[in-house]
């Protein structure tokens, strides 16, 4: 029989106070006690980039794949409402009767359609994570949501992709609307935007204004022919 060595909590806390991020990540895999002590330290300061964002938020609920690629331009409010209801039903049916759906956790309410993508989507990679693997799960979503509540100091070096940002926004909305105690990033006290992030936001804002102008011009042109 193997004897287990138990360290007091204060000893583990002293160790975690002087560890780098990789060591803290390894400690979280040792035991539940180490996980509970090391995780708040590891996630206290978070640096977010376009490159690491997907891994940082990996485990949170995701938007169904179909909602990401369907592009519809409703011609009336009635059509928009019908599209809304239809997609809402499709997503719920997919969630409850799809393959291995009992383990998968996705955001099922419809998302706003976009006329243009601001990034290239690796369809093969995304489909494999959503359609084949039963991940994320309710447990993974709850676990990662709780970890993200430990963040106190958030530095954004570059803006995450639209898909990652959309998932995070929807997860936060879902948590708030459901009254969850684990709202991602709710305890952030310090937010720092690096120059690249500010530039990314400026580009996004400019593109959004252009899309709004194009959409308005299309509506005006359509109304003149009614």
Angle between helices 162-177 and 138-148 (to 10 degrees): 90
Structural domain boundaries in the chain: 45-223
Percent of the chain predicted with pLDDT > 70:
60
Give the C-alpha distances (Å, rounded to integers) separating 28 from 14, 18, 162, 170. 15, 15, 30, 27
13-29 per-position pLDDT tens digit: 888 888 888 888 888 88
Token pair, residue 219, equals 């509506």
Q: Which of 17-26, 80-89, 94-103, 156-165 has the lowest mean pLDDT?
A: 94-103
Record the pTM: 0.66
The pLDDT of residue 80 is 54
The pLDDT of residue 117 is 43
Identify whether the C-beta of residue 93 lies closer than 8 Å to the C-beta of residue 198: no
Mapped onto helix, strand or coil, the DSSP state of residue 155 is strand
Q: What is the mean pLDDT of residues 147-175?
A: 92
The pLDDT of residue 1 is 43
In which band, very low, low, confident or very high, does the pLDDT at 50 lie, cut at 50, 70 and 90?
very high
Percent of the chain predicted with pLDDT > 90:
28
In which band, very low, low, confident or very high, does the pLDDT at 120 lie, cut at 50, 70 and 90?
very low
Higher pLDDT, 224 or 212: 212
| For residue 189, pLDDT beyond 80 | yes
The pLDDT of residue 17 is 85
Q: What is the mean pLDDT of residues 1-21?
A: 76
| Closest to 53 in 3D by CA, of 152, 131, 123, 144 | 144
């Amino acid at each position: 029989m193997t004897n287990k060595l138990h360290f007091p909590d204060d000893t583990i806390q002293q160790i975690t106070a002087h560890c780098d991020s990789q060591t803290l990540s390894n400690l979280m895999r040792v035991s539940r006690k180490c996980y509970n002590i090391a995780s708040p330290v590891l996630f206290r300061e978070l640096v977010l980039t376009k490159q690491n964002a997907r891994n940082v938020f990996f485990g949170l609920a995701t938007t169904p794949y179909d909602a990401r690629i369907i592009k519809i331009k409703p011609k009336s409010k009635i059509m928009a409402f019908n599209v809304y209801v239809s997609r809402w039903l499709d997503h719920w049916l997919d969630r409850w009767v799809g393959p291995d759906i009992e383990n998968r956790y996705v955001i099922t309410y419809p998302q706003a359609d976009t006329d243009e993508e601001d990034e290239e989507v690796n369809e093969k990679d995304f489909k494999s994570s959503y359609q084949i693997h039963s991940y994320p799960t309710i447990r993974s979503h709850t676990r990662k949501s709780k970890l993200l509540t430990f963040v106190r100091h958030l530095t954004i070096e570059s803006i995450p992709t639209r898909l990652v940002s959309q998932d995070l926004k929807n997860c936060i909305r879902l948590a708030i609307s459901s009254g969850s105690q684990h709202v991602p990033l709710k305890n952030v006290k310090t937010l720092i935007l690096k120059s690249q992030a500010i530039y990314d936001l400026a580009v996004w804002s400019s593109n959004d204004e252009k899309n709004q102008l194009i959409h308005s011009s299309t509506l005006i042109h359509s109304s003149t022919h009614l």
